[in-house]
Structure 1
């Protein structure tokens, strides 16, 4: 599994969080999911965080179903 290139963003934790948030946003969009509150969060002890935010219950249910389906299929 490929991950965000940490070598280019490791020196700036905020930049790394922004790159990871954007990657997750793009991946979710390909699956037809939009989390409006998804964004880079604050850094804690120099560890970058991504805030997933909130969404309505129907979207959470759809996202859970998609994850379950794809986790079972090994994708």
Structure 2
């Protein structure tokens, strides 16, 4: 596993990270790791989540789509 060093972080950002870590009962390092993992999820997981959300959408009949497509057009 790689190591990442970040220099010159603003003091207020450090304070917010510490507060967030404490609220989550994690170390600041664990908190930053979790934030990075959440922000930069694996592409396959993101695609799966999108496809799963599509499955939850209601079916739209073709007739309704035709009406919407022609609505407002001469």
TM-score over 0.5 for the alignment? no
Higher RCO (CA 8 Å, separation ≥ 6 residues) = 1
Decide which structure has the larger Cα Rg and report it. Answer: 2
Q: TM-score, normalised by structure 2?
A: 0.30
Between Structure 1 and Structure 2, the one with more helix by share is: 2
Between Structure 1 and Structure 2, the one with more strand by share is: 1
